[in-house]
Amino acid sequence: KGATFTSDEADRAIFRFQEYLRIDTAHPTPDYASAATFLRAQADSLSLRHETLEFVPGKPVLLLKWPGRRPSLPSVLLNSHTDVVPSEPHKWTHPPFSAALDSGGNIYARGSQDMKCVGIQYLEAVRRLKAAGFAPDRTIYLSFVPDEEIGGTDGAGAFVASDAFKKLGIGVVLDEGLASPRPEFRVFYGERSPWWFVIRSRGAPGHGAKLYDGTAMENAMRSVEAVRRFRAAQFDLVKTGAKAEGEVVSVNLVYLKAGTPTPTGFVMNLQPSEAEVGLDVRVPPNADPQALEKRIAEEWAPSSRNMTYEFKQKVSVYDMFGKPALTVANSSNPWWTLLEEAVKNAGGKLSKPEIFPASTDARYFRELGIPAFGFSPMANTPILLHDHNEFLNKDEYLKGITMYESIIKAFASYNDKDTESKAEL
Ligand SMILES: CSCC[C@H](NC=O)C(=O)O
Ligand SMILES: [Zn+2]
Ligand SMILES: [Zn+2]
C-alpha cells in the first residue's frame, strides 16, 4: 500500500521490461529460446524454482514456483504469453523491438501492451514482495506460455491438458486484459468464442456477357448481403449502447476468393464456377450457438443455393460442465472480492467487469471451471494491441507493478475453509 519506487528501483524495473521487449518473439518465427533464457535468469535472480515444459519441441512453457506456507490450499496462477504479433516496422516511429523510451516516458515495442508488460510486472511484483519479507500462504505459480497469438494449442492448451498442470492444484488464474483509456482499470470475466469459417459457393460457369441465374458469384454475394445485414444489426446494438462490445456477435469478412487467375490478373470475360468467403465470427458466452449455426446453414450457406461451409476454428462457448465459460464476477466469488479490494487498496479502481471481445488463453482455464480474470493494469492508456506504435508509459507500468503486489498479497493470503475443503476433493 502506497509503495513507491526509489529512482534506482524504477530504472532497473524499466530496464528489465525493455530487455524482455527487445527479444523478437514475433510470429511466424518467435525466438522462444531467448525468451526462455531471459525468464530463467529472472527466476534465478528471484530464487524461484523453474521448470521448462516442452510439450511441443521448440515451444517452451516456463513454470516458476513461489512455494506457499500452506501448500494444501489451492494455488494461484499468474499466466502470460511470451509471443507477440508481427509488425510493420517501417510504419512505426520507433522500431518495434527497440523498446525506445521517449521524452514523455512512453516505451515503444511490440508486446509492450500485449502482453510482456504483464509477464514482467508479475516478476517485479514478486521481487518487491520478497524484498519486503512477504511470505505467501498459497503457492504462487507463474507460467509463461508460447503461441497465444496463433491459438494456444501448443502453449496453454497443451499445458492445461498435462498431468503437470493437474498437480498444481490451481484455484484462480490471472491472465491478460486490455488497456483502458480512462482512469479505471478494465477487467474481464469471460470472452467471446472464435468461429472462423469459409463459405463456398458453386454455380454454372459462363460467358462474362451473359445474364443468368445461380452463378457462384451471385450465390456468394447474396450470402455476403445476409452476413452484412446481421453484422449491421449487431453493431447497432453496440452503437446505441444497448450492449457492450463483448456481448454481441461480431462478424467480419476477412477474405474473398474467386475468379480465374492469369499470370497478370484475372480472366475478365468468364464467370467463375466457384467462390469463397472467409469469416471471423466471435460468439459471446451467453449467445445461443445452435441458433447461430442454424443461421449459417440456412441463410449464409444454404445448400439449396449450392453452398457449403467449413469451420477452421470453432471454440465452444461452454465449459466442460456444459455451462457458459464465465467466471463469477460478483461478491459471491471471494476471488472477485479480493481482486476488487486489492486494486482499491493499491489506489486503483476497476470498471464494470466485461466480456473480452477477442480470445485469450484464459479460455483454457475457464473451460476447466477454474476462475480466471483478464486484467492488464494499464489505465490512461490508448488501446494499441496489434497496432502500430504500441507503447506503455513507464509510470503506468510501475503503477501496474504495485497493483500486482497488492493482488498477489491478497490472493496468496486468502484463507478460507470452503476453498480448502474443495482442494481436498
Ligand atoms: C483462435 S485463437 C485466436 C487468438 C487471438 N488472440 C489475440 O488476438 C484472437 O484472434 O483473438
Ligand atoms: Zn495477448
Ligand atoms: Zn494479442
pLDDT tens for 56-78 read 999 999 999 999 999 999 999 99
Average pLDDT over residues 92-99: 98
Query: Does the annotation count 395 as an active-site position?
Result: no
Buried b vs exposed e over 236-267: b needs ≥16 C-beta within 10 Å?
eebeeeeeebbbbbbbeeeeeebbeeeeeeee
Residue 194: inside a domain:
no
Residues surrounding ion ligand 3 at CB below 5 Å: 114
Average pLDDT over residues 355-362: 98
Query: Does the annotation count 148 as an active-site position?
Result: yes
Q: Tell me which of 83, 124, 147, 390 is the catalytic residue.
A: 83
Distance 190 CA to ligand 2 centre (A): 15
Q: Residue 294: its pLDDT value, please?
A: 98
- One domain, residues 172 and 246: no
- One domain, residues 16 and 114: yes
Tens digits of residue pLDDT in 152-174 = 999 999 999 999 999 999 999 99
Ligand 1 atom, smallest distance to 282 CA: 11
Average pLDDT over residues 114-128: 99
Residue 97: inside a domain:
yes
Domain boundary among 314, 348, 372: 314
Contact 245, 238 (CB under 8 A): yes
- The reply, when asked if residue 50 is annotated as ligand binding, is no
Residue 417 — very low, low, confident or very high, per pLDDT cuts 50/70/90?
low
Check whether 19 has a pLDDT greater than 90: yes
The closest ligand to the CA of 376 turns out to be 2
Residue 416 — very low, low, confident or very high, per pLDDT cuts 50/70/90?
confident
Distance 73 CA to ligand 3 centre (A): 32
Distance 211 CA to ligand 3 centre (A): 46
Check whether 125 has a pLDDT greater than 50: yes
- One domain, residues 211 and 179: no
Residue 324: inside a domain:
no
**What is the C-alpha to C-alpha distance for residues 161 and 180, in angstroms, rounded to an integer?**
33
Q: Residue 84: its pLDDT value, please?
A: 98
Q: Residue 419: its pLDDT value, please?
A: 52
Structural domain harbouring 59: 7-187+329-423
Domain boundary among 284, 314, 344: 314
Tens digits of residue pLDDT in 374-394 = 999 999 999 999 999 999 999
CATH code for the domain of 62:
3.40.630.10
Residue 384: inside a domain:
yes
Alpha helices per DSSP H over 82-162: 116-131, 158-160
The closest ligand to the CA of 118 turns out to be 2
> Which residue is closest in CA terms to ligand 1's atom 9?
359
Q: Tell me which of 147, 148, 191, 396 is the catalytic residue.
A: 148
Distance 339 CA to ligand 3 centre (A): 23
Enter the DSSP assignment of 197: E
Residue 323: inside a domain:
no
- One domain, residues 32 and 152: yes
- The reply, when asked if residue 340 is annotated as ligand binding, is no
- One domain, residues 302 and 205: yes
Ligand 1 atom, smallest distance to 359 CA: 11
How large a percentage of the chain has pLDDT more than 70?
97
- One domain, residues 52 and 177: yes
- One domain, residues 224 and 165: no
To test ligand 1's pocket by mutation, which of 82, 149, 178, 364 has the most ligand atoms within 8 angstroms of CB? 149
> Which residue is closest in CA terms to ligand 1's atom 2?
151
- The reply, when asked if residue 149 is annotated as ligand binding, is yes
**What is the C-alpha to C-alpha distance for residues 144 and 35, in angstroms, rounded to an integer?**
9
ipTM for the predicted complex comes to 0.98
**What is the C-alpha to C-alpha distance for residues 343 and 340, in angstroms, rounded to an integer?**
5
- One domain, residues 284 and 159: no
Residue 192: inside a domain:
no
Check whether 136 has a pLDDT greater than 60: yes
Residue 2: inside a domain:
no
253: its cell numbers: 469478412
CATH code for the domain of 241:
3.30.70.360
How large a percentage of the chain has pLDDT more than 90?
96
Question: What is the average pLDDT score of the chain?
Answer: 96
Contact 188, 373 (CB under 8 A): yes
Distance 405 CA to ligand 3 centre (A): 24
- One domain, residues 165 and 246: no
Ligand 1 atom, smallest distance to 385 CA: 8
- One domain, residues 11 and 156: yes
Residue 425 — very low, low, confident or very high, per pLDDT cuts 50/70/90?
very low
Q: Please choose, from the candidates 191, 54, 190, 73, the residue with its C-alpha nearest in 3D space to the C-alpha of residue 141.
A: 73
Q: Residue 418: its pLDDT value, please?
A: 53
Q: Which helix (H) or strand (E) holds 50?
A: strand 49-56
Q: For ligand 1, which residues put their CB under 6 angstroms from it?
A: 149, 151, 194, 313, 358-359
Check whether 238 has a pLDDT greater than 80: yes
Residue 273: inside a domain:
yes
Tens digits of residue pLDDT in 279-321 = 999 999 999 999 999 999 999 999 999 999 999 999 999 999 9
- One domain, residues 164 and 308: no
Domain boundary among 262, 280, 314: 314
Contact 354, 189 (CB under 8 A): yes
Q: Residue 423: its pLDDT value, please?
A: 46
Tens digits of residue pLDDT in 177-232 = 999 999 999 999 999 999 999 999 999 999 999 999 999 999 999 999 999 999 99
- One domain, residues 284 and 387: no
- Total structural domains within the chain: 2
